[in-house]
Amino acid sequence: MRPSVFISHSSRDDAYATELRTRLVAALDERGLDAWLDERRLGAGDRWRAEIYRHLVNCVGAVLLLTPEALESPWVRKEATILCFRGSLSSRLRLVPVLLGTVREHEVQQAFPALYLEEYQFESAHGRDVEEVVAAVADRFGRDDPAVPEEMARWTVRVKGMLRAADDDVVRLAASLLLPGEDTDLDDGRETLAHALLHGSTEGAYAALATLRGQGVDLRQLVEDVVPGYVRAEVAGPVWAAMHADPRQAVVVNASMPETATVLVRRASYCSPHLITIYAGAVGTEQTVESVVADARRALAQRLGMPQPPGQAFLAAQRLLVAVVVSADGVARRTVERLIQRLRAEWQSNVLLVLSDHVDGQVDTQVMVRLAERYEADLLDHVQGMRSVALPWSG
C-alpha cells in the first residue's frame, strides 16, 4: 500500500484551484504517493464522512488548498483541525497549506485562529502559474514517506477492538445514529463506528452507546476511551506540543475539576497506553510539598503493582509518561514551582503534568494552559452523561 497524501479543499473552488488540485494529484502519483481527493475517490452513495475520517487519521501528509471559499467551509475547518492536531503530535506528518486566490496568511490566521497554521511553511500561488505551484508543493513530499500508523490510528484500532463482540446489525444501528443519512452497511462496520465515536457529534453518542448494551461490550472501558475524543483538538493540541517542545519543562493545566483536566491530558496523548495518571492530594503550603511527592510515589507504585516506587530507568525502559493530578486551589506560584522541581527530581526525563485548580500567577519557565470555565462545565456535563450511559453495564 502506498503512503497517502490527503488533499483538503472546498467544493466551491474556482477554475484555477480546480486545475491545481487535478495536476497535484497526478504529480503526487508520479512520486509514488497515493493522493487522496474526495471527488476522485467517493462515488454516489459512498459513506463520505466515514471514508474521510479514515484517510485523515492514516495519511502521512496533507495539502490544505486555502481559497476564500475554503476559509468559510466548516468541513475544511474540521479537516484542518484534525490534521493540525496530528501535526502537533508528530513531526512525521507533512502538512502544506497553500494560499490561493486573494487569501493571505493573516486571513488564514483570522479564519482558523486556534490551529497554529502559522507554524507550517505556506506555499503561495500568488503570481505563479499552476505548474510552478504544483511542482513546489509536490516536492515537499519525499518518495520515502513511511506509511506507518500513528497515535490516532492506534487509538481507533483500540476502540474498534472493544466493539468486537457486538452483533453486526447493532454496530450498523449505532453507526447510523452518529452518521445520520449515510450508508452504514459496511465491510468493516466496527472501524466506521470507532471513527464515528471518536469524531462524531455529541448528540448521537449517548444513543449509539445505549444500543451496545447487552452486546458483550465493556461499556465502562469504551466510554473512558471515547470521552476524550470530544475534547476540542485546539484545546488539547497545545498541551502535547508543549510537553514535547522541551522535556525539561512541566505543563500546568489550570482546571477547576480533576475529571476535566484528566480527560484533557488523555485527549492530548490520544489515550496512549503509556500514560499513567495518578492523584497526589492537595498542596497548600511549602510544608505539604514533600507529602504530595510522597503520595505521588506511593500512588505510582500502586498503579504499577510494585512494592516500591519505580525509578527513572524503569519508566524510561517502559516508555511511561506520568501525569500527576494535584489540587492547588489558590496556591502561591512559588509553591507550585517547588512542587514541580521535586517531581522533576523524582522522574528527571519524563514530562510531568501538574494539573491544578487556580494557581496564583504565571508559573516561571513553565507552560500554563487554562480551561475556560464555560467550556470546562460543558465538557464535564458530557463526561458525566457518557459515563451514566455505561454505569449499569459492563457487558
CATH code for the domain of 107: 3.40.50.10140
In a domain, 334, yes or no: yes
272 and 361 housed in the same domain: yes
pLDDT of 359 reads: 58
278 and 368 housed in the same domain: yes
Q: For residue 310, give every residue at least 6 positions away whose Cβ sits within 8 Å of its Cβ, in sequence order, or none.
A: 300, 301, 304
In a domain, 269, yes or no: yes
pLDDT of 42 reads: 47
Largest CA distance in the chain: 68
255 and 177 housed in the same domain: no
Paired strand residues for 97 = 64
Answer whether 25's CB lies under 8 Å from 35's CB: yes
116 and 37 housed in the same domain: yes
282 and 341 housed in the same domain: yes
50 and 103 housed in the same domain: yes
In a domain, 271, yes or no: yes
Which amino acid is residue 176, in one-letter code? Answer: S
H helix or E strand, kind and range, residue 94:
strand 94-99
Q: How far apart are CA 100 and CA 111, in angstroms?
A: 15
130 and 265 housed in the same domain: no
| Torsion 178-386-236-54 (CA) sign | negative
Number of domains in the chain: 3
Q: How far apart are CA 356 and CA 283, in angstroms?
A: 10
Task: Quote the pTM value.
Answer: 0.67
In a domain, 228, yes or no: no
pLDDT of 132 reads: 93
DSSP string, 86-145: HHHH-TTSEEEEEE-TT--HHHHHHHSTTS-GGGS--EE-TT--HHHHHHHHHTTS-TT-
For 323, the 3-state DSSP assignment is strand
252 and 306 housed in the same domain: yes
CATH code for the domain of 252: 3.40.50
Q: How far apart are CA 300 and CA 297, in angstroms?
A: 5
H helix or E strand, kind and range, residue 291:
helix 289-304
Q: Which of 82, 107, 138 is the last residue of a domain?
A: 138
In a domain, 390, yes or no: no
pLDDT of 41 reads: 47
Can you give the pLDDT of all 395 residues of the chain as single tens digits? 677 899 998 888 788 888 998 999 999 988 888 888 876 544 444 455 667 777 787 788 899 999 999 999 888 888 888 888 777 655 567 899 999 989 999 899 888 876 778 778 899 999 899 999 999 999 888 654 444 446 777 888 889 899 999 998 999 888 888 876 555 544 567 888 887 787 666 677 888 888 998 899 999 899 988 888 888 766 776 776 666 666 556 677 777 777 888 888 888 877 888 888 888 877 776 568 888 888 888 988 998 899 998 887 888 788 787 888 887 766 777 787 788 888 877 876 555 565 655 555 566 555 667 777 777 888 888 888 888 887 765 44
Answer whether 301's CB lies under 8 Å from 310's CB: yes
Q: Which of 159, 190, 217 is the last residue of a domain?
A: 217
- Which grid coordinates belong to 106? 493573516
| Phi, psi of 247, rounded to the nearest 5 degrees | -65, -10
Q: Which of 138, 170, 188 is the last residue of a domain?
A: 138
Paired strand residues for 61 = 5, 94
Which amino acid is residue 364, in one-letter code? Answer: D
In a domain, 79, yes or no: yes
Name the residue range of residue 49's domain: 4-138
64 and 173 housed in the same domain: no
286 and 368 housed in the same domain: yes
295 and 353 housed in the same domain: yes
| Torsion 159-160-161-167 (CA) sign | positive
pLDDT of 39 reads: 60
179 and 133 housed in the same domain: no
Q: Which of 116, 94, 378, 13 is nearest to 231 (CA)?
A: 378
Which residue's entry shows cell 487519521?
57
pLDDT of 259 reads: 81
Answer whether 356's CB lies under 8 Å from 312's CB: no
In a domain, 47, yes or no: yes
In a domain, 389, yes or no: no
